Structure 1
Amino acid sequence: MDTITAKLDPRTRVGWLLLGFALGGFFDGIVLHQILQWHHLLSGLADPAGSDLRFQIMADGLFHLFMYVFAVAGTVLLVAARAAGRRAVTTTEILRLAFIGFGVWHLVDAIVFHWLLGLHRIKMNSDMPLAWDIWWLVIFGIVPLLLVLVLPNRGGPAGASAALTSIVLLAGLAAGAGPLFNGAATSVIVFRAGMSVVPSSNEAFLQAYDLRNRTGE
Structure 2
Amino acid sequence: MNTKKEHSYSSRNILSGILFGIGFAAFVDEVVFHQLLRWHHFYDRSTTEIGLISDGLFHAFSWFATIGGLFLLADLRRRHAFIKKIWWGSILLGAGGFQLYDGTIQHKWMKIHQIRYVDNVFVYDLVWNIAAIMMMIAGLTFILSSKRRKAAS
Report the AA paired with residue 121 of structure 2. Answer: P
C-alpha distance in 1, partners of 2:75/2:137? Answer: 30
C-alpha distance in 1, partners of 2:35/2:106? Answer: 18
1:142 alignment counterpart: 133
Q: CA deviation at 1:132?
A: 1.4
Alignment check: 8 A CA contact 1:8 1:87 kept = no
Q: 1:128 aligns with which of 120, 123, 136?
A: 120
Report the AA paired with residue 58 of structure 2. Answer: F
Alignment of 1:79 with 2:79, yes or no, is no
Change (3 A) 1:94 1:11: closer
C-alpha distance in 2, partners of 1:40/1:79? Answer: 33
Unaligned ranges ≥5, structure 2: 147-153
Change (3 A) 1:88 1:150: closer
Change (3 A) 1:148 1:75: closer
1:64 alignment counterpart: 59
More RCO (CA 8 Å, sep 6+): 2
Alignment of 1:94 with 2:51, yes or no, is no
Write the mapping of 1:154-169 to structure 2, written as runs, cut at 5 A: none
C-alpha distance in 1, partners of 2:95/2:121? Answer: 22
Unaligned ranges ≥5, structure 1: 155-217
RMSD in angstroms over aligned alpha carbons? 2.1
User: Paired residues, what number?
Assistant: 140
Instruction: Tell me the percent identity.
Output: 25
User: Which has the higher mean CA deviation after the structures are superposed, 6-15 or 99-108?
Assistant: 6-15
Alignment of 1:42 with 2:43, yes or no, is yes
C-alpha distance in 2, partners of 1:74/1:118? Answer: 29
Structure with greater proportional helix content: 2
Alignment check: 8 A CA contact 1:11 1:80 kept = no
C-alpha distance in 2, partners of 1:13/1:135? Answer: 26
